[in-house]
């Protein structure tokens, strides 16, 4: 028994000591820059191309691995939703159709548009920094001032420009309020179903959220109310279940009657006092 408790404490400690996503990205970037700089110094073109190929292969392989892990979770979610629909078809506590939520979805679409602009800025700024320092600067030195950089100088310039690009990415992301965790999991914006209904077991999306090859249909209880916006007519609900896909761990429920929805959720979700009275 003591051994089990000790293992649990060690597991909790290891979770708390995990590397933050931002720091992890910086470390991986610095490691990649260092390897590429060494290859530039060696001047072996074939090694550089091998390294680039391996990098893309690792990224592609990791993407496939993550997808293969999430698809079973999505499929299980669909099965659970089907069972809930069957067992609780006569126990609907609250329902909103697409017609009910349509007047408020412009708010959501505007937020999606703003996110698209942020993502474009996040992509372009580091790219422009890298191009300006690593490609444009040597070209100006060569064409205007007739200064030709040595292989070592080009390597130094690459390291400086790559680090500047990483730094620009971090600064822009912080400025725009985008986290590395949300970017890696694809949860930059909260999912908002256009139609849904609530049963004692969870929130059913109708129609379901569609991802490649599968449908995600339910946010299961237990849950907690994370945000209440009466003026914008929505409540954000976070599932506390362990086996919920990251894409619907947090959902936004639009409704013209926020107080009634909140009253229904109080029986099945945690609601902080300040949110209930806000």
Q: Which residue has the tokens 């970037």?
A: 29
Residue that wins the pLDDT comparison between 276 and 73:
73
DSSP 133: I
Report d(CA 78, CA 27) in Å as an integer: 38
> Where does 43-96 have alpha helices with state H?
45-87
Question: Strand, helix or coil at 250?
Answer: strand
Could you report the per-residue pLDDT of 172-202, keeping only the tens digit for each?
Answer: 988 888 776 566 555 577 889 999 999 998 8
Q: Is the pLDDT of residue 255 over 90?
A: yes
Quick one: pLDDT at residue 234?
A: 95
Report d(CA 61, CA 65) in Å as an integer: 6
The mean per-residue pLDDT over the stretch 26-44 comes to 89
Q: Is the link from the previous residue into 110 a cis peptide, with omega within 30 of 0? A: no
Quick one: pLDDT at residue 62?
A: 85
Q: Which residue has the tokens 């999606």?
A: 112
Report d(CA 217, CA 209) in Å as an integer: 6
Q: Is the pLDDT of residue 10 over 60?
A: no
Could you report the per-residue pLDDT of 202-237, keeping only the tens digit for each?
Answer: 899 987 777 655 666 888 888 999 999 999 999 999
Give CA separation, 250 vs 77, 161, 239, in Å.
Answer: 15, 38, 6
CB-based contact 248:209 (threshold 8 Å): yes
Quick one: pLDDT at residue 127?
A: 94
Quick one: pLDDT at residue 211?
A: 65
Q: Compute the mean pLDDT over every residue in the chain, rounded to the nearest whole number.
A: 84
Cα torsion angle, 89, 94, 97, 98, sign: negative
Q: Is the pLDDT of residue 79 over 90?
A: no
The mean per-residue pLDDT over the stretch 96-101 comes to 94
The mean per-residue pLDDT over the stretch 43-65 comes to 89
Report d(CA 227, CA 242) in Å as an integer: 20
Domain residue ranges of the chain, discontinuous segments joined by +? 88-109+190-277
Could you give the angle at the alpha carbon of 230 between the alpha carbons of 226 and 235, nearest 5°? 30
In the chain, beta strands by DSSP E:
94-96, 196-199, 202-211, 214-220, 223-229, 234-239, 250-254, 269-271
pTM confidence score = 0.75
DSSP 134: I
Q: Which residues pair with 205 in a beta bridge?
A: 196
Report d(CA 220, CA 212) in Å as an integer: 21
- Convert 211-243 to b/e letters by CB count within 10 Å (16 or more is b): beebbbbbbbbebbbbebeeeebbbbbbbeeee
Q: pLDDT class for 7, splitting at 50, 70, 90?
A: very low
CB-based contact 252:194 (threshold 8 Å): no
- Convert 109-144 to b/e letters by CB count within 10 Å (16 or more is b): eeeeeeeeebeeebeebbeebbeebbeeebeeeeee
Quick one: pLDDT at residue 17?
A: 53
């Amino acid at each position: 028994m003591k051994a089990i408790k000790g293992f649990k404490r060690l597991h909790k400690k290891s979770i708390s000591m995990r590397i933050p996503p931002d720091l992890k990205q910086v470390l991986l970037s610095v490691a990649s820059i260092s390897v590429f700089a060494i290859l530039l110094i060696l001047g072996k073109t074939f090694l550089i191309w091998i390294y680039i190929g391996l990098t893309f292969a690792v990224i592609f392989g990791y993407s496939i691995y993550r997808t293969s892990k999430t698809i079973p979770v999505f499929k299980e979610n669909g099965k659970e939703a089907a069972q809930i629909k069957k067992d609780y078809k006569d126990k609907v506590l609250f329902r909103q159709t697409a017609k009910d939520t349509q007047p408020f979805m412009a708010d959501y679409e505007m937020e999606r548009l703003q996110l698209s602009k942020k993502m474009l800025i996040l992509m372009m700024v580091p790219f422009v920094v890298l191009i300006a320092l690593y490609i444009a600067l040597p070209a100006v030195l060569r064409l205007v001032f007739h200064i030709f950089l040595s292989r070592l100088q080009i390597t130094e310039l690459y390291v400086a420009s790559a680090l500047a690009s990483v730094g620009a990415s971090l600064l822009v992301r912080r400025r725009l309020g985008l986290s590395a965790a949300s970017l890696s999991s694809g949860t930059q914006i909260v999912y908002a179903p256009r139609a849904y209904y609530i049963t004692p077991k969870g929130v059913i999306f109708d129609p379901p959220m569609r991802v490649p090859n599968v449908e995600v249909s339910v946010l299961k209880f237990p849950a907690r109310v994370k945000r209440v916006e009466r003026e914008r007519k929505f409540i954000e609900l976070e599932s506390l279940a362990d086996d919920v896909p990251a894409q619907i761990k947090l959902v936004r429920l639009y409704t013209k009657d926020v107080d009634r929805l909140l009253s229904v959720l109080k029986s099945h979700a945690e609601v902080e006092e300040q949110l209930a009275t806000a």
